Amino acid sequence: MSHISPTHPRRLADVSSFDLETDVAVVGFGGAGGCAAIEAKDAGADVTIFEVASASGGSTALSSAEIYMGGGGGTRVQKACGYDDSTEALFEYLKLCMGDVGDEEKIRCYAEGSPEHFEWIVGLGVPYKDTEYESKAIVAMTDDCLLYTGNEKAWPFRSVAEPCPRGHNLEIEGDNGGPLFMEIVTRNVVERGIRIEYDARVLRLIADEDGAIHGLVVRIDGVEQNVRARRGVILCTGGFAMNQSMWEHYSPEVARRAQPIGNPFDDGGGIRMGQGAGASTLHMNQSFVTIPFYPPASHTFGILVNSQGQRFINEDVYHARIASSNLKQLHAGKKVFLIIGEKHWKQPNMLNGEIVSAAETIEELAVDIGLPVDNLAHTFHHYNEHAAKGEDPLFHKQAEWMEPIEGTIAAVDISPGEHGLYVGFTLGGLETKPTGEVLTMDGDVIPGLYAAGRATCGMPRTAEGYASGMSVGDVTFFGRKAGRRAAAEKG
């Protein structure tokens, strides 16, 4: 028996007998897979999870597991902290964030379902304190819950949707939300008696002659087993940032300039299996990319300039929007510098930039770093003049981050691909409906096949509008949807 490709499905007609039968087969036990399994089980299905690693967790366990939630008048925490977030504000905000590549149907679904999702997560036993973390940070390092994790207060977002913090951080000190979150999800899975096969590598899907999916082939203890999934297979296999050649192939701009973040099994295997079964892939060029521009939040007082010595972004935006804007500068010169005054430059920081010059005047600095002197000087003096008044007529940075840059001025080189700690992961993947049903390029559902998490092109689709908590929000929310939809299928 030959196959054109490792991911071409096994023919149902070639399967003489099944080694294992289940209603719903979930592939991958990270945030998406765990939530999918719980929902499928709670809907009455017999569920089996196949996880290639020796334990649950996936990339969710490696994250902070902040979840981006709100709307409906506010989650319990938002209300306790004095915010009455509306569904419409959440919807409008997400829509603006995702811009041209956004999927309005998924965004609508996510916004409207968010209050219930919060309750469900809390119902699993996930602890959230009714307190706000008020510093500007990538991650809350205390056990406080609510924080601004995106561009809510920055231009142009604040003019479209009332700013509101929506990042929900678990009640645990330090950056330990991810392990705790997955511990709780895993406990819920185990308590429900869901069957889990660890060290189980899924090799291919099983399809009938019309392309409908009936199960999968998995290797456990070195033995290939045919698994019948009576109601469906749910691919929750993660993205592909850890597969360098695949990442570079589809999303080269980021992949060549950023370190991948994720777990080693984010190798795109599930995406390739789905595609081999006829699924469409969407926005495979899109990657999350970021640079830890803050903390310290004081860096926000600096300005970012390109090879022309021009500013190009309001520096108070979310760190991924900064990284994404930095990458856009590469088409006309290769440099991006943070220009910052001695008062605001702080160590330790995680920028991994190189201080290439420090000078008493911007003119000296410009000469030293090889930027057009008169243009950088104009940018600098124009900024300072307006900063003294708390105004940014160009990019509308918030007044609280505007102060003239004074004293010794440093130039920190964070040119993508040269300096700066750029990290990223993939946002493109299998095309799905909000229900998790996987689609062909014709927009038809592939019977028996579902997907969720970073194996799909989900709600968050671009670094430009990303906020912390959107990915774990997406994988848990749409993981649940997929679990419910698959369980509802007649076996």
Q: Residue numbers of the site for a second copy (CB under 8 A)?
A: 1-8, 11, 13, 100-101, 209-212, 249-250, 252-253, 256, 271-272, 275-276, 278, 280-286, 308-314, 325, 328, 331-332, 372, 374-375, 378, 382, 393-395, 440-442, 444-447, 464
CB of residue 182 to a second copy, shortest distance in Å: 29
Dihedrals phi, psi of 316, to nearest 5 degrees = -95, 10
The residue (of 179 and 372) whose beta carbon lies closer to a second copy is 372
The residue (of 270 and 292) whose beta carbon lies closer to a second copy is 270
CB of residue 304 to a second copy, shortest distance in Å: 12
- Cα–Cα distances (Å) from 6 to 9, 156, 173, 264, 273, in that order, read 8, 46, 44, 20, 8
Burial of 119 (0-12, 13-18, 19+ CB in 10 A): exposed
CB of residue 7 to a second copy, shortest distance in Å: 6
Give the ranges where 166-268 is alpha helix by DSSP (H): 177-191, 244-250, 252-255
For 325-333, which contacts have Cβ atoms below 8 Å and span 24 or more sequence positions? 325/464, 326/291, 326/414, 326/415, 326/416, 326/420, 327/253, 327/254, 327/257, 327/289, 327/416, 330/253, 330/416, 330/417, 332/306, 332/307, 332/308, 333/306, 333/307, 333/308
The residue (of 78 and 151) whose beta carbon lies closer to a second copy is 151
**Tokens of residue 280, six digits:** 């469409």
CB of residue 75 to a second copy, shortest distance in Å: 30
6: left (phi over 0), alpha (psi -120 to 50) or beta: alpha
3-state SS, one letter per residue, for 144-188: CCEECCCCCCCCCHHHCCCCCCCEECCCCCCCCHHHHHHHHHHHH
Q: Which residues pair with 229 in a beta bridge?
A: 22
Q: Which residues pair with 200 in a beta bridge?
A: 220
CA atoms within 13 A on the CB side of 249: 8
CB of residue 260 to a second copy, shortest distance in Å: 16
CB of residue 209 to a second copy, shortest distance in Å: 6
The residue (of 173 and 391) whose beta carbon lies closer to a second copy is 391
The residue (of 166 and 283) whose beta carbon lies closer to a second copy is 283
The residue (of 140 and 313) whose beta carbon lies closer to a second copy is 313
CB of residue 414 to a second copy, shortest distance in Å: 19
CB of residue 10 to a second copy, shortest distance in Å: 10
Q: Which residues pair with 206 in a beta bridge?
A: 10, 215
CB of residue 286 to a second copy, shortest distance in Å: 8
CB of residue 300 to a second copy, shortest distance in Å: 17
Question: Among candidates 202, 210, 203, which has minimal Cα distance to 12?
Answer: 210
CB of residue 310 to a second copy, shortest distance in Å: 5
The residue (of 2 and 54) whose beta carbon lies closer to a second copy is 2
222: left (phi over 0), alpha (psi -120 to 50) or beta: left
| DSSP state at residue 487 | H
The residue (of 183 and 253) whose beta carbon lies closer to a second copy is 253
The residue (of 96 and 180) whose beta carbon lies closer to a second copy is 96
Reported as type and span, the H/E element at residue 304 is strand 303-306
Report how far residue 37's alpha carbon sits from residue 229's, in angstroms, rounded to the nearest whole number.
Answer: 13
Dihedrals phi, psi of 324, to nearest 5 degrees = -65, -40
The residue (of 252 and 407) whose beta carbon lies closer to a second copy is 252
